[in-house]
Amino acid sequence: MEKPDEIKKGIDLTPKKRDWMTPEVEFKKGTYCYGAPLKHQRYLELPNQREWQPHDTDWELPENWKDIILDGMAKLLKKNRAFKLFMDICVRCGACADKCHFFIGSGDPKNMPVVRAELLRSVYRRYFTLHGRILGKLAGARDLTVDVLKEWFYYFYQCTECRRCSVFCPYGIDTCEITMMGRELLNLVGCNIQWVIEPASNCFRTGNHLGVPPHAFKETLGFALDEIRDLTGINVEAPINKKGAEILFIAPSADYFASPHWYTLLGYLMLFHEIGLDYTWSAYASEGGNFGLFHSMELAKRLNAKIYAEAKRLKVKWILGGECGHMWRVIHQYMDTFNGPADFLEVPVSPITGTKFEHAKSTKMIHIAEFTADLIRHNKLNLDKSRNDRWKITFHDSCNPARSMGLLEEPRYIIKNTCNHFYEMPENTIREKTFCCGSGAGLGADENLEMRLKGGMPRAMAVKYVKEKYGVNMLACMCAIDKAALPPLLEYWVSGVEVCGVHELVGNALVMKGEKKRETNLRGEPIKGDSENTQ
């Protein structure tokens, strides 16, 4: 792996070639993800099952693969106005070009959102429009060949579906949609990656993407409770599959298995105990994240179905969701449409403050940041900001909660009420203009680390800026993939900045009834200047 400076020096945002029409892809180690293992293709009953790698010369496509793809394309065009429209109306103004983190980080001109879409559009023109059929290459039309397919694979798995370009497009063309369609088509002939299919298959079978069986799930939650007891002296409970609880809580599974997600989990558990929430975890629906979304709408729906099914079975009133990115894309924009109506649930009402969450009156699921912000607003939490004083904090908006939900102020409100030192990154890189961590949409694998680090460069540079300007040493975020991807990213580009979840900050600041004097924060680090204003 090159040094950060070398990578930056190598980036040229001016294309060297004159156009993108020739399909050529080099599957260079570090830039692409491995193919899906046969076992998991089988479990999910996917088409064209085989052991397969993108760097294989022969992709072992079905004999009629071209017909399958073109037929699939015709169907998608009929089923989805966005797809049809986005194929037709782009004027190639190029406003999106330098908005993509992969383009900025790699300089590969085919990573410009407009070109990523043209890869698909060129085939659309060739087979579905009159001028494309007649004029061919002159009209920007291309035959569907194996090389074109390989190019699709390479670039549709080099897009994190972050939707940043769609903010800037004068027609709202959303590359995320284009990539989703591209992936749907690739999946028809069995071209998918391990880091999408394996988690999806695990999730389908066990309930969470790591494939953690129920007893291990309970065990890990047990470890978390032990840690909380050591820290605070309080016995906290974490009910699982408890029928008749008021609320079902669903978090991304990384929260109970990975670090630094773990400290966010501690934060949730402490919060729920402190306010005496009547809630339950589910071992069956133990995953909020949905890797199916990165495969196809159908798989997304199959995985998502568990949430409502479990809420119904457990007879809860409503659902609360943890800190996650694409999980919230699915819950906010897809779940009700997929698997609703959730008429067996009630409109979420905070049992502590009485606030009725009208904005979720149909889906009946709210984000924990909405829930906690409301608690803080009503003064229901005793918070000692100074316990987070060792950190100067900045906040990274995760793509999906920002651009698909508009969850911008809730986390900021919580951070400002739990921390003394909060600094925003430059405005071109936050809120709706936030930059992706470079590892979303199933690209958080190890084998494509080089590409991830390049794609995360714009985010890392913004962090570097606030580090140098304000001494920021902690990056808070609300997404499980962020929490996994940002630590190595920052280590590479900006050393000395750690990553945390927002509810870790809550857990630190939360003064619990009957707790012993806290010597350390949730990470076991001494609390710098532990203040006297603890009541």
Partner 1 sequence: MKIILPFFILALIVSFVYLGTKFPEGHILFGIIVPYICFAFATVGFVTKILKWAVSPVPFNITTVCGQQKSLNFLGHNPIESPASRWGVFFRMLFEILFFRSLLRNEKVELYGKEKRLIYGSDRYLWIFAILFHWSMLVILLRHMKFFLEPIPSWIIMLQNLDGIFQSHIPSVYLSNVLIFIGLVFLFIRRLKRRILYISLPSDFFVLFLIGAVIISGVLLRYVYRADILLVKAFLLGLIYLNPVPYSGFGTMFYTHLCLVSVFIAYLPYSKLMHMAGVFLSPTRNLRNDSRAKRHINPWNYPVKEHTYKEWEEEFKDALEEANIPLEDENKG
Q: How far is the CB of 395 from partner 1 (least distance, A)?
A: 14
3-class secondary structure per residue, 236-278: CCCCECCCCCCEEEECCHHHHCCCCHHHHHHHHHHHHHHHCCC
For residues 82 and 146, which CB has a smaller minimum distance to partner 1 in the complex?
Answer: 82
Q: How far is the CB of 107 from partner 1 (least distance, A)?
A: 9
Query: For the sheet containing 474-477, what is the strand order?
Result: 393-396, 474-477, 498-501
Binding mask 497-526 toward partner 1 (x if CB under 8 A, else -) reads ------------------------------
> Binding to partner 1 by residue 302, rule CB under 8 A?
yes
- Determine the residue type at 174: D
**HSE-up of residue 525 (Cα within 13 Å, Cβ side):** 11
3-class secondary structure per residue, 208-223: CCCCCCHHHHHHHHHH
Q: How far is the CB of 159 from partner 1 (least distance, A)?
A: 15
> Binding to partner 1 by residue 256, rule CB under 8 A?
no
Residue span binding partner 1 (CB under 8 A) among the ranges 48-56, 367-375, 388-396, 415-423: 367-375
The total number of residues shown for the chain amounts to: 535
Using the rule CB under 8 A, which residue among 233, 406, 471, 496 binds partner 1?
406
Q: Which of residues 434-453 bind partner 1 (CB under 8 A)?
A: none
Using the rule CB under 8 A, which residue among 365, 463, 476, 486 binds partner 1?
365
> Binding to partner 1 by residue 93, rule CB under 8 A?
yes
Using the rule CB under 8 A, which residue among 428, 496, 519, 529 binds partner 1?
428
- Cα angle: 86, vertex 91, 97; to 5 degrees: 85
For residues 268 and 284, which CB has a smaller minimum distance to partner 1 in the complex?
Answer: 284
How many residues contact partner 1, by CB under 8 A? Answer: 119
Task: Return the CA Rg of the chain.
Answer: 23
For residues 355 and 520, which CB has a smaller minimum distance to partner 1 in the complex?
Answer: 355
Rounded to the nearest angstrom, the gap between the alpha carbon of residue 154 and the centroid of all alpha carbons in its chain is 20
**HSE-up of residue 125 (Cα within 13 Å, Cβ side):** 22
For residues 79 and 528, which CB has a smaller minimum distance to partner 1 in the complex?
Answer: 79
For residues 205 and 469, which CB has a smaller minimum distance to partner 1 in the complex?
Answer: 205
Q: How far is the CB of 528 from partner 1 (least distance, A)?
A: 30
Q: Which of residues 145-184 bind partner 1 (CB under 8 A)?
A: 163, 166-174, 177
What is the spatial distance between Cα 53 and Cα 34, in angstroms, rounded to a whole number? 6
Nearest to residue 424, comparing CAs of 461, 383, 386, 465?
465
Widest pairwise Cα distance in the chain: 79
Q: Which of residues 111-150 bind partner 1 (CB under 8 A)?
A: 112, 114-115, 118, 129-131, 138-140
Nearest to residue 161, comparing CAs of 20, 293, 332?
293
Q: How far is the CB of 279 from partner 1 (least distance, A)?
A: 15
Q: At what angle do helices 146-156 and 175-188 cross, to 10 degrees?
A: 130
Using the rule CB under 8 A, which residue among 310, 384, 482, 504 binds partner 1?
310
Using the rule CB under 8 A, which residue among 73, 200, 405, 476 binds partner 1?
405
Structure tokens at 389: 């004083």
Q: Which of residues 182-211 bind partner 1 (CB under 8 A)?
A: 204-207
What is the spatial distance between Cα 485 and Cα 261, in angstroms, rounded to a whole number? 11
> Binding to partner 1 by residue 469, rule CB under 8 A?
no
Structure tokens at 530: 């532990």
> Binding to partner 1 by residue 55, rule CB under 8 A?
no
Name residue, tokens 């809550």.
Answer: 506
What is the spatial distance between Cα 291 and Cα 388, in angstroms, rounded to a whole number? 33
What is the spatial distance between Cα 275 and Cα 512, in angstroms, rounded to a whole number? 9
> Binding to partner 1 by residue 79, rule CB under 8 A?
yes
> Binding to partner 1 by residue 432, rule CB under 8 A?
yes
> Binding to partner 1 by residue 395, rule CB under 8 A?
no
Q: How far is the CB of 473 from partner 1 (least distance, A)?
A: 21
For residues 68 and 342, which CB has a smaller minimum distance to partner 1 in the complex?
Answer: 342
> Binding to partner 1 by residue 333, rule CB under 8 A?
yes
> Binding to partner 1 by residue 349, rule CB under 8 A?
no
> Binding to partner 1 by residue 38, rule CB under 8 A?
no
> Binding to partner 1 by residue 287, rule CB under 8 A?
no
**HSE-up of residue 91 (Cα within 13 Å, Cβ side):** 6
Using the rule CB under 8 A, which residue among 341, 496, 526, 529 binds partner 1?
341
What is the spatial distance between Cα 272 and Cα 434, in angstroms, rounded to a whole number? 30
> Binding to partner 1 by residue 104, rule CB under 8 A?
yes
Distance in Å from the first CA to the final CA of the chain: 51
